[in-house]
Structure 1
């Protein structure tokens, strides 16, 4: 007869609704790892060139359209598009219209 083992770990769940967040250009949703940020861009607004060393990034366009540049590559993104990339890459962008994105930045284990 096999003995059943009972798991005793507890997983904490955090929940946020993006629609309830204040309207801001950049608004943190979750600040721990992985850090999650909602970014609202006006038409023509730019995201200056930058990087996030030591992280993996998920970039999800909720609505709108924009051009995202990763190093020398260009991506035309619209609502529903999701990219995953290494934070070592240089990222920049420009909104073609009012655009909302959610960015998840996960620190890599050492």
Structure 2
């Protein structure tokens, strides 16, 4: 990149090769087990993925990293911000599970089958 900042170039960065290997390995296994096929999501699932990815990106930026840096490292170091992150992550997970339960029951019309999701 022309700047010496201590960060390895993209072609020698091990995380790049880890990501590429993970994607290629999953693709090869899906092909070998005849489970690989292209799927086009409907508009509703596309919007859920777009909104969810955006919210996760915003959360990662607010936490200044992933859950490892946001909670584990901070809480182990005695930083109360780690526990605030944990509370936010737990609250977000709770709301997400409740929303997905509601959405799934709406999609499958579970009320007709007398299935209790609680």
TM, length-normalised to structure 2: 0.18
Task: Using CA pairs under 8 Å that are at least 6 residues apart, name the structure with larger relative contact order, 1 or 2.
Answer: 1
Which of structures 1 and 2 has the bigger CA Rg?
A: 2
Structure with more helix by fraction: 2
